Copies of this chain bind each other. A is one copy, B any other.
Amino acid sequence: MSEAQPPILPRIRDSFARQTMMQTLGATLIAGADGICVIRAPVLPGLRQQQGAGHAGLTFSLGDTAAGYAALNVMPEGVEVMTAEIKINLLSPAVGDMLEARGEVLRAGRRLIVVRAEIWALTGERRKSIALMQGTMIPVDLA
């Protein structure tokens, strides 16, 4: 992608690396700072629905994770976040060379962080929006 991405905070990188699901999905962390997180993953053969497109669960997993790390990067050190609830509207089948999920923070409160994510299918130079998510993350103090 030609546009500049924000960098990746070390604690986002570390937490992402501990998510075995991201490895199973073949996902790569592209950006994670300033209330934004971008993740990319191919539509691996083992992650399909019955007609060969990517499973809704793949699209959801990427969007939810991007939204969660968008939230995490506005939290103080030592605080984790969890998804309280999230909704996905699926716009088009997950078919393409690669999926890209971009999460962003819409409102960071003390108790609730409202987030949004969009997921695109990338095919050559083409970029098609396939899903929109809106949800709530909650901070979890691990100390």
Contact = CB atoms under 8 A, between A and B. Distances in A.
Which of under 10, 10 to 19, 20 to 34, or 35 or more describes the interface residues of A?
35 or more
B87 A82 contact: no
Given A55-B61, A106-B132, A87 B87 contact: yes
Contact of A21 (B47, B84, B135): B47
A47 B60 contact: no
A112 B91 CA distance: 9
Contact of A136 (B18, B84, B116): B84
Copies of this chain, count = 4
Contact of A84 (B49, B83, B89): B89
A138 interface: yes
Contact of A90 (B19, B84, B132, B134): B84
Contact of A55 (B19, B84, B85): B19
